[in-house]
Amino acid sequence: MTDAADDSARAAGAHRPDATVTAAPEGMRGALWLLRDMRRATGTRLWWALGFLVLGSLSEGLSVVMLLPILQLANADSGSAALDLAGRSIAGLPLPQVSLGLEALLAALVVLVILQALFNRAKAVYLSDVLQDFSISTRAGLFDSIARARWDALVRLPRADLEQALTGEIERIQLASFMTLGIVQTLIGTLIYLGISMALSGPMTLFALGFGILALALMRPFRRMSAEFGNRIQHSRGQQFRIVSEFLSGLRTARSMNAEPQHVAAFNGALNRMKGDAGMHARQSSIGSGLFSVAMTLGATLFVWFSLRVAQMPITEVIVLLLILMRLSPRVMALQSQAQQLLIDLPACRRLAELRQRLDARSEDSAAFAAEPIAAPRRSLQLDKVTYRYPYEAADGTETADASGRAALDGCDITIEIGKVTAIIGPSGSGKSTLADILLGLIRPHDGEFRVDGAALSTAQLRGWREHLAYVPQDPVLMHDTIRANLLAGAAHATDADIQLALTRAAAAEFVARLPRGLDTTVGDRGALLSGGERQRLALARAFLRQPRVLILDEATSALDWQSQTQIAKSLAELPKDVTVVMIAHRPSLVRYADMVYAMDHGRVSETGSPDLLLTDPQSHLSQMMASETHAI
């Protein structure tokens, strides 16, 4: 495999669920972890990037080395002095038999600086591409992990935390990776300058090196403060994301209760706490930076005094050493500032790595995004003694059964005949939505089996099974796009005639026709520009357009008036005979159109029969539902 193909394969596999994701370690060891993660995401391109960093530092060091012969010639008594290369070699390679005058050396220095500028431009572009590839791979990997996670694990995670990880945290990780490469570049440059300095004067180099190491050691408390500040920033930003997400999601409710000031106050409080943390960190960092600058200046002063007064070094060598020291000093200071910034952003790396570990450990077995074909159901769907308990996550991250011990479904026996309309009724918390998740293949029973035409579904068949389904929840979410785009989301190849038929079946054709732009009307964020009933009708139309073999309606008509519900009931009756409808309902308006009714209570099936049969018993749940609705009217 070529390097390019190898890189492509690595980039493609960097965010597969089987890719190893380990938590970022604490402290500066996190830089090594980040480099390893970058290597896994970018392949051999990282080595090329590090090679460019080495070459950049070498070229910069060469320009400084050239100053020594230039200064020597400039200090010579004769204006005709020249640098004779005859008999000299570099790394065993003989140099040309020429003599270089002052003018030639100055011209060579200018050419070197021009080439260095061109090289630095190419290096910057390449490093930017590598960092962007790493950022994209990291973001795509997390998105992929979310998409593959088990449904029952995913719904327990706050949406704000996922949004924060996919947006703000990724930007901090990109900054951390930039700081990591910066630290590598600074270390390489420092080693090169130390090598040049050692060639000129070993004792003086060791003196400067020891002083720099001492200064970095004295700054350790300030680096620890930066790490603590990073953790506080992580917590503060998480608070802000949650406040914003909850406020925007419940904006209508907040306004109806005049509760906006409380949300604004909570958000301002989070901002002010972060401002206080940032101010305290700025004060601490400024003290540390000031002390570090004083220490480095003191070291440079002692270095000059010792080299001139004690070591009695030639002035030209002292000048070159001082130039090297002036190049080294900002690098040592840069190491300190880069390390502090990295420690601030490393908590984001840890948070994202922990999140991916948690999601990948709970990956859906069938989440290979390749649907194994399964035949459309012909006879029945059956829940055979199905029991399901929602998992409970302990403090150590392990999953156990629901701590309450109560099963969401407990030994349920339900048979849904193909081509029939089956209604599932019962009070809130009776297990209806859990049953819908079983039918959708989103969760698997802990005990018992879900069978299609008598055969239990394997994990590999779950995605293929969902190809036959359409699901409409009580509160459907629409994309911030046109009505046409929302309808085509589940049936990309549908024609305009198909769309009109689906709208008619969903009692939506009339209101869509009244809109100024018809199907090209934008519905707003999550359908905010439409009423709840209009959103439900469009969701129903989208489900009809999919032409499913099994249509699952979870309180899908709760926001509709009785005329619309009657029209939809007629549409359900007109569906092809091989289409199965499962209605989950609190209201009896549509239940009377069902062929079979199952009443749920505390996760168990309490009543079974046709609507007419159940209505003959005044104590049945359906009779009580009907009586309650009649009384309410």
Q: What is the pLDDT of residue 401?
A: 56
Taking 70 as the pLDDT cut, the residues of the chain under it are: 1-28, 61, 63-101, 196-197, 200-201, 204-205, 207-208, 211, 249-250, 252-257, 281, 285, 288-289, 292, 296, 316-318, 320-329, 365-371, 392-405, 629-633
Q: Report how far apart, in Å, the C-alpha atoms of 386 and of each of 391, 409, 413, 465, 469 are.
A: 16, 7, 7, 18, 20
C-alpha torsion 22→159→150→411, nearest 10:
140
Query: Taking the CB of residue 283, how many other CB atoms lie within 10 A of it?
Result: 10
Q: What is the pLDDT of residue 12?
A: 37
CA distance between the termini of the chain:
73
Instruction: Classify 202 as helix, strand or coil.
Output: helix
Which residue matches tokens 């190893």? Answer: 20
Q: Which two tokens stand for residue 255?
A: 């306004």
Which residues are CB-neighbours of 235 under 8 A, at least 6 positions away?
none
Q: What is the pLDDT of residue 385?
A: 93
447-452 sheet: strands from edge to edge = 409-417, 380-388, 447-452, 455-456
Q: Which two tokens stand for residue 188?
A: 């390489």
Please name every residue paired with 585 in a beta bridge, in sequence order, or none if there are none.
Answer: 425
C-alpha torsion 362→366→369→370, nearest 10:
160
Residue 377 is classified by DSSP as P
Quick one: which of 126, 108, 104 has its CA closest to 55? 126
By 3-state DSSP, what share of the chain in percent is helix, strand and coil, each rounded to 5? 60, 10, 25
pTM: 0.71
Torsions phi, psi of 81, nearest 5?
-60, 145
Q: What is the pLDDT of residue 18?
A: 41
